Every structure is written in structure tokens, then in C-alpha cells.
Amino acid sequence: MDALIKSLRPGKPSDIKPSDVKSPEVRPAELDPAEFLAAAVRADQPRPSRAEAEAAVKTLLGYIGENTGREGLIDTPRRVVEAYDELYQGYHQCPAEVLDRTFGETAGYDDFVLIRDIEFTSQCEHHMMPFYGRAHIAYTPVERVVGLSKLARLTDIFARRLQTQEHLTAQIAAAIDEVLKPRGVAVVIEAEHTCMSVRGVAKHGAMTFTSRFTGMFRDNPAEQARFMSMVRGPQR
């Protein structure tokens, strides 16, 4: 039996006029500078007490069916809250301060600076499960450069918050662009998400790639390609 294939588009290709085809709308980034230039938590912001946080952990332990009074779990609420203080310390750190100090002794260096394989661990805001991987960051300075470790610290500040990988990528690029004002920024992140590899579809080893390019990396395909070739170099 012959199958009948019906076109999803009305009319023939020749019937479609160039004027009928609309180019996709290009929208600017919708990141508020306040979200990536200052600490996410204000000193005067109301927050639950540590005792309330520990009680919440105890409630969750009871919800999954555990005996919260047994020996192995007596101190678990305290340990979990202490772990949260470490895992989410990025809420209390200011990204702009990390990039604030720059150096001008560059001998006229005018090419981009690339730091690749910056390892990070973050937490998915949808399931509060870890995702981890590597960030590759490049920027083309204008006269002054930032200390190399600062880009790694910047990555950690944003990673140590509840995140999506897309938002993490955009925040890193936007902070560098806003504070350093370079000729261009390139950020690529590759990560494995345990909310996909451990639960749900349980596809261990599946990697997610995201990127954000500004300035010369966005406008010059050759520079973007050179950046990607260095990130994916044969020595990896």
C-alpha cells in the first residue's frame, strides 16, 4: 500500500515570495545588570533562621519515610544546612568585585585571552540536583587585563547558586562584558546534568553544550571559529 505524504506547508515552494519570508527577530539579552554585578543576597534581606532550615531538612527526611531519630540521621539536618552554606555561597559574593582589579602592563597585547577547562559544579534550579562540567572563557582586552584566576572565581560565584546552564553561560559573559568592556567575549560550557543522568530518562554521559558570544566573537565568524578550534584542540 502506497503511503500518502501530505505537505505541511500550503502551496508550492515557487508560490512563496521572498517578501513572505520573515527574518527571525533578534532580541537583545534580557539580563538585568543588578543580577550579575552585585551579591544576590542583601545583608538586610529577611531569611529563615538556621534552626528553621534544619527543621525543614528533618521534615523532608520524614517525608521520604526515614526515622529521623535514628543514630545516623540525628546530625543530618545540621550537616545538610552546613553543606548548603558551602554549595550556595555564590549568593553572598559580588561578581563585579572579582573583576574589579586589572593590570595594564600587557606590552600592547591585542589578541584574545582564553582560559579553558575551568571545572565547576552547580545545582539545577528545577530539581536541586548537581550538574558539573567545564567552562571555556575568552575575551579580547582593551589595554588592561584581569588576573587569570578571576575568571575561574567568577565562574564559581555564578555556579554556586541555583542555576540553569543557559543562564549560567549568559551571566558569565554579561559580567565580563559589562565590567571589563572588552572588544568581545566568548563563553562555552559543557556539562552533565544528574537530573537527566540519575533520574528521569537516566542517560548517563549525555553532555549539554551552551555558548554566548559578544562583540568581535559574535560579529566575526573567523574569530569565533578560531576560539572554538582552540577549545577543541587536538591536545584535549
Question: Active-site residue numbers?
Answer: 124-127, 165, 193, 195
Q: What length is written for the chain?
A: 236
Phi, psi of 167 (to 5 degrees): -70, -40
Which residue in this structure is represented by grid cell 512563496? 16
Closest CA to 131 of 144, 115, 119: 119
Of 131, 113, 133, 134, nearest to 123 by C-alpha is: 131
Rounded CA separation 152/136 (Å)? 10
Tell me how far apart the alpha carbons of residues 28 and 14 are, in angstroms, rounded to a whole number: 34
